[in-house]
Copies of this chain bind each other. A is one copy, B any other.
């Protein structure tokens, strides 16, 4: 299993647009055969515009296939228009 934990800070006022985009990406990603789980998170008791993608994939090949899909590329392109800086992405493997 590989896991992705990605963080972004959404521009003030764009939170609703972000959440809708993130939920659309989550739904389409969960339908991929290599997906284990896909969650959109915020840190508990914080309201600072930071949101997180928590994803689990069967293996690195499945994650690579996901990042080549149209839904990933198109929705992330939209997300990048409404966040400050870049998505901060880390990839992990289960040990």
| Contact across chains for A37 and B37 when beta carbons are under 8 A apart | yes
| Contact across chains for B3 and A93 when beta carbons are under 8 A apart | no
Select one of B42, B44, B60, B95 contacting A40, CB under 8 A.
B95
| Contact across chains for A93 and B60 when beta carbons are under 8 A apart | no
| Contact across chains for B95 and A44 when beta carbons are under 8 A apart | no
In A26-48, the 8 Å CB interface with B consists of 37, 39-44
Count of residues in A whose CB is under 8 Å from the partner chain: 23
| Contact across chains for B5 and A5 when beta carbons are under 8 A apart | yes
* Interface of A toward B, CB cutoff 8 Å: 1-3, 5, 19, 37, 39-44, 51-52, 54, 56, 60, 90-95
A sample of 21 inter-chain contacts (CB < 8 A) reads: A2-B44, A5-B5, A19-B95, A37-B56, A39-B94, A40-B94, A40-B95, A41-B92, A41-B93, A41-B94, A42-B93, A42-B95, A43-B90, A43-B91, A43-B92, A44-B60, A44-B91, A44-B92, A52-B92, A54-B54, A54-B92
